Chains A and B, each alone.
Chain A
Amino acid sequence: MRRYSAFAVAREALRYNKGWGRAWRAPQPKKHYDVVIVGAGGHGLATAYYLGKNFGITNVAILEKGWLGGGNTGRNTTIIRSNYLQDPSAAIYEKARGLYETMSQDLNMNVMFSPRGVMMLAQTQHEIRGFQRTAQANAFQGVKTEFISAQRVKQLVPIMNVDGPRYPVLGALWQERAGTARHDAVAWAYARACSDMGMDIIQKCEVTAVNQSGGQVTGVETTRGAISCKKLAILVAGNSGDLARMAGFRLPMESVALQALVSEPIKPCLDVVVMANTVHGYISQSDKGEFVIGGGTDMYNNYTQRGSFHHIEETVRALVETFPMISRMKMMRQWGGIVDVTGDRSPIISKTPLGNCFINGGWGTGGFKSIPGSGWGMAELVAKGEHGPLTAEFGLDRFNEGRFIDESVAAGVAH
């Protein structure tokens, strides 16, 4: 693989960049792999990468029905944070955040991880208590957060109206090392690294059936032929139900649309990520200058990647109230992504009723921020066939035992 560096860029520039080769190979599928991963989104590619890096398993194919990184990895609002309340969530999201810190160097591609800080506004007494509790929990989970005053909020975000009148800002939960990253680049960087380890990323290859015998997975049928494998890992946000059906089991999961929008670009004026749960909106300003804005999910099953406009209205309404200057900005583009939501709104990383078939999904609105941690833990589960501590609590069995991981507890919605 050609290393990326300022020198390489300069050298290539002088010969019209003729020397740059493919970032990842485009191989024909082989007949057999040790591990077949369905879904070349962030989670699938990260799983593949850590299978190779941590367990030396490189005879791996990552199958993608469309183009890699084309699902929610390329449709989210790029927020990365780990200020979760419950231990298992805090552990995996913090693992992910930590891996994001060094991702550009580890993968030799600049994913522009920007730990600019994430604040969650407390606008009711109840939120103050909720976020103080989260800060308390985080302190003993190894997640560095603090509860900051309204004055500090105003210092960090001068364009914010902290005085209400309706919902004065009473404080905020502040995670200084949280932030954003360039979402597409995360998928591309993992893809490039996987390809470099000799793994096959096969795009435009849709899985049409899961083959099994004696309760064990044996391979998959695809639009590019049958592929046999020892182990199968399913990481297909928005399509988990479909793949599960093929594999012969059901999931405690539903697919709904989550919407986002961007404004026209303007000069920098918002240098942190702000989440306002009481009024339902979250916002950051990208390096291109656009406000990247997200809101709530539709409540009905949907696979169209289109949402209902009234959610956009609610979100924009909330942000105009919180950031009055936004009123004269313009919405440039809106879109939807399909997220899988589970019974307790927390992800599933688990063995399945089908032997040697593993599933990772149901991240809801938390998918992007968890990519490296999810891949790290999933790789361990696939490689060993058993949970490591990072994923132990995320198994399907919790729905039988009534052992839930409920983050909605921590005041408002999680994004």
Chain B
Amino acid sequence: MSNRIDGMGRLLNRDTPVSFTFNGKTLSGYQGDTLASALLANDQMLMGRSFKYHRARGVVASGAEEPNALVNMGEGARFEPNQRVTTTELFDGLTAKSQNHWPNLNFDVGVINNYVSKFLPAGFYYKTFMFPRFAWKHVFEPIVRHSAGLGKPPTEADTDRYEHFYAFVDVLIVGGGIAGVQAALAAGQSGAKVLLVEQTAHWGGRAVVDGAIIDGKPAEEWLIETLQTLENMDNVTIRTRIMGAGVYDHGYALGYERITDHAPETNAPRHRLWRIRAKQIITATGAIERPLSFAGNDIPGVMLASAVRDYLVNWGIAVGQRTVVVTNNDDGYRTAIALKQAGLEVPAVIDVREQVQSNLAKQARALGIEIREGRAIASVKGGKRVTGVGVSIMQGTGGAQEEIKCDCVAMSGGWSPVVHLWSHCGGKLNWIEEHAHFAPDPKRPPLGDEGQGFVITAGIASGAMETGTVLQNADAAGKSAAKAAGFASKRTRVAKADDVATQVMLPAWILPTNALPELRAKMWLDFQNDVKVSDIQLAAREGYESVEHTKRYTTLGMATDQGKLSNINGLAVLSDALGQEIPQTGTTTFRPPYTPISMGAIAGEARGEIFQPLRQTPIHQWHVGHNAYMEPVGLWHRPYCYPRGEETHQEAVTREVNNTRQKLGLLDASTLGKLIVKGPDAGKFLDMLYTNMMSNLKPGRCRYGLMCSENGFLVDDGVVARIDEDTFLCHTTSGGAERIHGWMEEWLQTEWWDWQVYVANVTEQFAQVAVVGPNARKVLEKLGGMDVSKDALSFMGWADGILGGFDVRVYRISFSGELSYEIAVPASQGRAFWDALHAAGAEFGAMAYGTEALHIMRAEKGFIMIGDETDGTIIPQDLGLNWAISKKKDDFLGKRAQQRSHMASKDRWQLVGLETLDGSVLPDGAYALAEGENANGQRNTQGRVTSTYHSPTLFRGIAMGLVLHGPDRMGEVIEFGNIDGTTISAKIVDPVFYDKEGIKQNV
């Protein structure tokens, strides 16, 4: 059957029916429906199950505050759990399934929790499940985990796209109700750049639903005209489907735009996360109606009065045929009147107040609606749907009930301004007795970068409760925001509306006032998490007096709605239990986002190929084309090795090492950092940065240097070449370039700013190729163009020249122990040069090698590797590099730190070579064991492995390591531990395993 009422439903387009499925059943609604309204139209009141007791749950609200009606939506790559039906626009082909039940929605085994709910009060799990000890992990927790959670996990990778967008405005206005619109008008007329966003697809908020009269015409008309005016203003942008998700420091706000949620097939990003920087932010976020706490208030069919009204007016739905309204304020009457005027039955308005004489009450009476004053609902009949209510006197215990049959209960507990965005960044609140709610304190706003307040509230979000005052308040907000943003506001007239005289509400936190315990145990505060009045009272009794304690102990307000419906009622019950005023109890902290936002939107465009920048050398494509196995080095990808055919990585590495040692190897060394340091004080500067003396390096020569942090630790190394009298070129480690460049600039700008030195990072200006091996010189001579002989270009020298027609700079340096030239060419010619080397080198056995071969060859030579021999705790002295530490210099970075007692100690572990007795390869990171245990029962150690490889050259395992007094213990055999408890014997040897005299690199 359909619950649609002909001629009603201002948001519906009845000409466009839409078909969708719920739990496999095909249903139909109209364009303009939300999933909630469409389900209700199809008389589907039961929409889910609660979190803890698996109780039947129907929709209770009509907007973002909905705690109950969450569904699994979509399928495959577009599946999404916990979709709130009230904020889900209906589209053709939408598929939804209800959640948190087994086997199905109508019959859920989990409901067993409900029948024993008496035994599962707040925090019961803290008091139980303790024995036997293993049981929590293996028995109880699995049960808890299984019954917890709500929606199903998505299983496939998301195929939609997401993006971010930076917007800068003078005034951001959040909320498209009449307050937001009026504020936008006021701010816009001042000339300020204004962005007005509305989270739903529709403007107008409550006023248009409740038929307010503005400037003598229906709110709807005024709205359409005013929006048109705004549309016509160049300095104003108005957008729907963007939710103000969060307010952050210095005027930063997040806007969550849902672009295709209502039209998934559109070729557009699904969500766009707006990062808005606003001089001023106006939150015109409206208010949320509070439920009332009475026994059975969670039974499907019990709904917020405003929601019942929304469904009727916006979507032409009769939630019930017979609706009992229960209220503590005038607003509830609006629902009763609307229903009655729509021809539906309203058997009674239960008003907790005595003598209600307000205009709205009079109107209701005039329509023949019976008003039960000083009464309360003491019980709700029905299981999966309301069938009636038991009414008793408000000032009682809930006895002597009179039953009224009904299929819907509309409750109105008063209105709470939406203060989330105001509070995110520190805005403070005042308790307003008259309306029993917290409202923003304009005197204590969040503070911006200049200490100025940068958030202003407008309309009911400020606590202005009636149309007339809402408009005035919003106009003032718009003007003062513009002014604060530096725009003189025009004196424009404010739209006028009459305030309806209302009778003061009666804060009634539980119904009836003296309800007995068995009733309080059925009064729901948090519908999703199943937190009841009795739970809060228990928490208070147990000393969880801070509101944060109570929240965490009972889980009140921790559900997906983050307490939008439950917080104030919970606070009130807690305060009452503690016998203190509500402001004394205070609120929990409001944290972003206002409602949950997709992880996809937060990640934005950064996924797949552009998840992170991938730095490529000019030769990158060649590596890829030659089956290189790439390894990340910082953001670079470098070839680890180039497997051929069926080769394993290790076989490939062995081949590359052997070929390089015996013939000719080519390495793409472009990632090596290259920094030009120039100026009269360049030498002096480098003397401070490096542990060695650099100022006395001769132009045309190279020197290996070490850099330490001020804390003494070795941070980088590389070869420095002196280009001319006041110019040096410093090589850094791959990926070290930016760090060291920044390090140099920092010292020059913040410490030695009077020194005349400029630094430029030319790392990417050059492709650099290491030409290595006995045939290295041959291939260069074949290319021709410059003299690369030993005499013309000796070891540790460099020269500019031409090779094979390329402008090159050749460094005669070696990290492998072989005859080696590192050749820099302009990056744009890097690939061509690389190809030329391969072509010319073919006859000499040229073959590319990767980083692993590089590492093995440097280890065979006993060269240290930053990141292997060093780990941030190592000083050069530990590595036997004292030769590279100048004794002549008064000072260099790290010098003083290295003199501290622990660093000067003779008992530091020091670098040695290690050879296993059986020739095997020592495990990575293995520790050398010492006798006994320390005071904490840990096995004593006396060293560790820093680099360990199988040497294809020496056909055995070789390693470097740090060992206590190592250099004095040459030849000694020590034991290295294995994770499996076994040990490996290794001999302490010289770290240089290959060509100790260094003849090969010097030919």
Known contacts A313-B602, A402-B903; is-contact A268 B149 (Cβ 8 Å)? yes
A272 to B804 CA separation, bound complex (whole angstroms):
58
A402 to B903 CA separation, bound complex (whole angstroms):
6
Q: Is the CB of B136 within 8 A of A104?
A: yes
Q: Is the CB of A16 within 8 A of B923?
A: no
Which of B81, B141, B927 contacts A329, CB < 8 Å? B81
A213 within 8 A of B: no
Q: What B residues does A309 contact at CB under 8 A?
A: 246, 248, 252, 254, 275
Q: Is the CB of A9 within 8 A of B124?
A: yes
A254 nearest CB across to chain B (Å): 16
Q: Is the CB of A265 within 8 A of B148?
A: yes
Which of A69, A133, A264, A308 contacts B925, CB < 8 Å? A133
Residue of B nearest to A168 (CB): B632
B644 within 8 A of A: no
Number of interface residues of A (CB under 8 A): 117
B640 within 8 A of A: yes
Q: Is the CB of B599 within 8 A of A70?
A: no
Q: What B residues does A20 contact at CB under 8 A?
A: 538, 541-542
Q: Which residues A159-190 have CB closer than 8 A to chain B?
A: 159, 161, 165-167, 182, 184-185, 188
Residue of B nearest to A189 (CB): B126
Q: What A residues does B696 contact at CB under 8 A?
A: none
Which of A10, A87, A288 contacts B149, CB < 8 Å? A288
Known contacts A141-B938, A289-B150; is-contact A316 B640 (Cβ 8 Å)? no
Q: What A residues does B157 contact at CB under 8 A?
A: 161, 324-325, 327
Residue of B nearest to A289 (CB): B149
Q: What B residues does A17 contact at CB under 8 A?
A: 121, 534, 538, 541
* A85-96 interface code vs B (CB 8 A; 1 in, 0 out): 001101100000
Give the contact stretch, choosing among B302-310, B376-384, B588-596, B989-997: B588-596
Q: What A residues does B158 contact at CB under 8 A?
A: 320, 324-325, 327-328
Residue of A nearest to B145 (CB): A268
Known contacts A389-B935, A402-B902; is-contact A267 B924 (Cβ 8 Å)? no
A157 nearest CB across to chain B (Å): 12
Interface size class of B (residues with CB under 8 A): 35 or more
A111 to B80 CA separation, bound complex (whole angstroms):
32
Q: Which residues A102-120 have CB closer than 8 A to chain B?
A: 102, 104-105, 108-116
A149 to B612 CA separation, bound complex (whole angstroms):
25
Q: What A residues does B925 contact at CB under 8 A?
A: 129-130, 132-137
Q: What B residues does A135 contact at CB under 8 A?
A: 925, 979
A326 to B607 CA separation, bound complex (whole angstroms):
12
A109 to B938 CA separation, bound complex (whole angstroms):
31
Give the contact stretch, choosing among B18-26, B35-43, B544-552, B699-707: B544-552
B897 within 8 A of A: yes
B593 nearest CB across to chain A (Å): 6
A390 to B937 CA separation, bound complex (whole angstroms):
10
A159 to B155 CA separation, bound complex (whole angstroms):
7
Give the contact stretch, choosing among B285-293, B343-351, B360-368, B864-872: B864-872
Q: Is the CB of A287 within 8 A of B603?
A: no
B273 nearest CB across to chain A (Å): 9
Q: Is the CB of A140 within 8 A of B977?
A: yes
A310 nearest CB across to chain B (Å): 9
Give the contact stretch, choosing among A44-52, A217-225, A331-339, A356-364: A331-339
Known contacts A23-B544, A331-B593; is-contact A266 B81 (Cβ 8 Å)? yes
A-B contact sample (16 more), CB < 8 A, given A289-B148, A308-B249, A328-B600: A9-B127, A20-B542, A26-B543, A102-B133, A132-B925, A136-B979, A140-B927, A264-B560, A287-B141, A288-B51, A324-B158, A325-B158, A334-B592, A334-B593, A389-B936, A402-B902
Q: 9 shortest A-B CB distances, which residue pairs?
A: A133-B925, A289-B149, A389-B935, A402-B900, A324-B157, A330-B596, A67-B546, A327-B158, A4-B127
| A positions within 8 Å CB-CB of B | 4-6, 8-10, 12-14, 16-18, 20-26, 66-67, 69-70, 74, 87-88, 90-91, 101-102, 104-105, 108-116, 123-126, 128-130, 132-137, 139-142, 146-147, 159, 161, 165-167, 182, 184-185, 188, 203, 263-269, 278-279, 287-289, 304, 306, 308-309, 312-313, 316-317, 319-321, 324-335, 389-390, 392, 398, 400-404, 406, 408-409
A-B contact pairs, 30 of them (CB 8 A): A6-B128, A13-B121, A67-B549, A70-B546, A124-B631, A124-B632, A126-B867, A136-B927, A137-B927, A184-B549, A263-B599, A264-B82, A265-B82, A265-B148, A266-B152, A267-B149, A288-B51, A306-B425, A309-B248, A309-B252, A313-B603, A316-B602, A317-B604, A328-B599, A331-B598, A332-B593, A333-B593, A400-B901, A403-B902, A404-B873
| B positions within 8 Å CB-CB of A | 51, 78-82, 118-119, 121, 124-131, 133, 136-137, 141, 144-146, 148-158, 160, 162, 246, 248-249, 252, 254, 275, 425-426, 517-518, 521, 534, 538, 541-546, 548-549, 552-553, 555, 558, 560, 562, 589, 591-593, 596-600, 602-604, 606-608, 611-612, 614, 631-632, 640, 711-712, 867-868, 871-873, 897, 900-903, 923-927, 929, 934-939, 941, 944, 977-979, 981
